[in-house]
Structure 1
Amino acid sequence: MDARDDIDPLWAPQPDALPGWFHEALAVPREEGFIDIAGTRIHYFRWGDRSLPPILMTHGFLAHARCFAFIAPFLAGDRHVIAYDLSGMGDSANRPGCDAQARGAEMVGVAEALGLFDGLAKPVIIAHSFGASVGLTAMALAAERFSGLILCDMMVLRPEVLEERNRQGNGRPGSGDPNKPQRRYPDYPTARSRYVLSPPQPVGEPFLMDYMAFHSLRRSGE
């Protein structure tokens, strides 16, 4: 797959203005595919030689694997890198009744399905924010199968806050509530305006924000 197709004129009307390192990252060959993990279709990307020591990466809340599309290629020179969409996010399907244990088991299942346990070197997990708790659960379930865990910007909720979120039905994002309406927007600029950082903060690299926003949306009605 040519990842340079990620550069669409809707979000990058002047692609030549994007930095060279970004173009170089997207020029690195990658594989894209889907696997079935306990009945749920999971989307992933793969970079690098499969014989190299493996890395398994996952993203934060309501994000997607393209968070690593411009990072993983720089690791792929001497690592076999997988980045996947958590169930109910990105291009992965919803997982009914998804809880922390199910997400941790899903991560172990992704590593297993993609052959990350087959070599001499055990995989390292790199997980961001919401995904960090998934990585911790995976380690609790199968620590002997991984060589390490790198947590980036982990969010920890006080027990009483977590309990209240669960009471309000917010404890299982991506579980696939059939009654939850989909938000639709009349055009791309309107949809793009809804993509913001939380909490509000300056955007260090606006083009990366544009890239992430574009790939967080789906065209409909075509």
Structure 2
Amino acid sequence: MEPATNLLKQKSHYTLSHKAPAWIRNNLACAGLSGQVFIDGASIHYLGWEWDDQSRPAIILIHGFRGHAHWWSFLAPFFLDTYRIAAIDLSGMGDSDHRDSYGPFRFAEDILAFIDHFSLTAPTLIGHSFGGSQVLKVCAQAPERIGHAIIVDTYVNFPDSDQLPVIAPLLQTKKHPSREQAIDRFRLDPPQPEVSDILLHHIAYHSVRHSHAGWHWKFDPALTNFEEKNGPALLENVQTKIDYVYGERSIVAGNGRAQRIFQLLPNANQLVKLDNAYHHLMLDHPLELVDTLQKLLQAVRE
């Protein structure tokens, strides 16, 4: 694996709404430094906060399907009292390279290679949704290399119940004449009735890029959501200490799925429900999510 490039302050002309509360303004003013590592021939982009400070324990933040590191960028600075933070863009998403093909363990391999590149010892992994599924795969493959993991509103399939629908690759993505028109077309999947418009706009802004054809989504249209068909078989191999945070109103983790996943984890730690929260917890209950994560992290440190 080739060496990482130097970390650079991420350049952006993003203008935050004047209605944004102080905590959002302060956290986004503490911008992550943009870097890349090369993994199996592809550039994997990440944002780092105090990432060069090796005296701090490391947290790696993993986004959901077709997402990017900026799903975490407005929350990451909350953890800088204790940790160094990296939020990575998985292959084919965000500002990471697209690949010719993706297998079911491609994204877990990205995470493990990132850990190896920086010679991290027992980092904490925090993954939302699809990102949490990849965290589970990492912990099943290499439990001795992960100190602690937190999955946030994450799904696994159970053969005896409903299966997560496979999201088919897109034949093409629509191009838009302006960034704002592309942002206006941004939609959450799954949708939810409650969300911070300011945070949603921030994520949408960082979800698009410009090419000669116009503005379009950053993710690779060829991506599909690889999930383990047999969730219990995956979970029984996860020996890492795992906490699970989920939204009370989530259609992904609801109907008892979160409890069932938690019960099958051999080293399950705490199961935490955020009242009235939906699937995208960082967009409807961001401060409650941070408070919960901080308490879970502190409990493991103690």
TM-score relative to the length of structure 2: 0.61
In structure 1, stretches of 5+ residues that fail to align are none
Identity %, equivalent residues: 33
Could you say which residue in structure 2 is the equivalent of 1:156? 156
Decide which structure has greater helix share: 1
Out of 33, 45, 64, the residue aligned to residue 60 of structure 1 is: 64
In 2, the alpha carbon distance for the partners of 1:19 and 1:64 equals 23
Of residues 188-197 and 129-138 in structure 1, the stretch that sits farther from structure 2 once superposed is 188-197
Change (3 A) 1:76 1:163: closer
Could you say which residue in structure 2 is the equivalent of 1:208? 199
2:183·2:204 contact (CA, 8 Å) conserved in 1?
yes
Out of 190, 200, 205, the residue aligned to residue 199 of structure 1 is: 190
In 2, the alpha carbon distance for the partners of 1:100 and 1:161 equals 20
Q: 1:79 offset after TM fit, Å?
A: 0.4
In 2, the alpha carbon distance for the partners of 1:53 and 1:21 equals 24
Could you say which residue in structure 2 is the equivalent of 1:87? 91
Could you say which residue in structure 2 is the equivalent of 1:8? 14
Change (3 A) 1:92 1:155: same
Change (3 A) 1:2 1:96: closer
Is 2:24 the partner of 1:18?
A: no
Q: 1:29 offset after TM fit, Å?
A: 5.3
Cα deviations by residue, 1:140-175 (Å, 9 ceiling, x for unpaired): 11110111110001022344976984xxx83xx7xx
- Amino acid in the other structure paired with 2:147: S
SS at match of 2:71: helix
Change (3 A) 1:52 1:193: same
- Amino acid in the other structure paired with 1:100: P
Of residues 190-199 and 135-144 in structure 1, the stretch that sits farther from structure 2 once superposed is 190-199
- Amino acid in the other structure paired with 1:201: Q
2:62·2:87 contact (CA, 8 Å) conserved in 1?
yes
Could you say which residue in structure 2 is the equivalent of 1:190? 181
Out of 96, 102, 114, the residue aligned to residue 106 of structure 2 is: 102
In 2, the alpha carbon distance for the partners of 1:64 and 1:74 equals 19
Cα deviations by residue, 1:34-61 (Å, 9 ceiling, x for unpaired): 1111211100011123320111111001
In 1, the alpha carbon distance for the partners of 2:165 and 2:14 equals 41
Could you say which residue in structure 1 is the equivalent of 2:130? 130
Cα deviations by residue, 1:66-91 (Å, 9 ceiling, x for unpaired): 11111111112210111100100001
In 2, the alpha carbon distance for the partners of 1:100 and 1:148 equals 23
SS at match of 1:181: coil
Change (3 A) 1:216 1:187: same
1:203·1:209 contact (CA, 8 Å) conserved in 2?
no
Cα deviations by residue, 1:71-115 (Å, 9 ceiling, x for unpaired): 111112210111100100001112333222222121110111133
Tell me which of the two structures has the higher relative contact order, counting C-alpha pairs closer than 8 angstroms and 6 or more residues apart.
1
Is 2:66 the partner of 1:75?
A: no
In 2, the alpha carbon distance for the partners of 1:2 and 1:31 equals 5
In 2, the alpha carbon distance for the partners of 1:164 and 1:75 equals 34
SS at match of 1:136: helix
How many residue pairs align between the two structures? 203
In 2, the alpha carbon distance for the partners of 1:157 and 1:107 equals 22
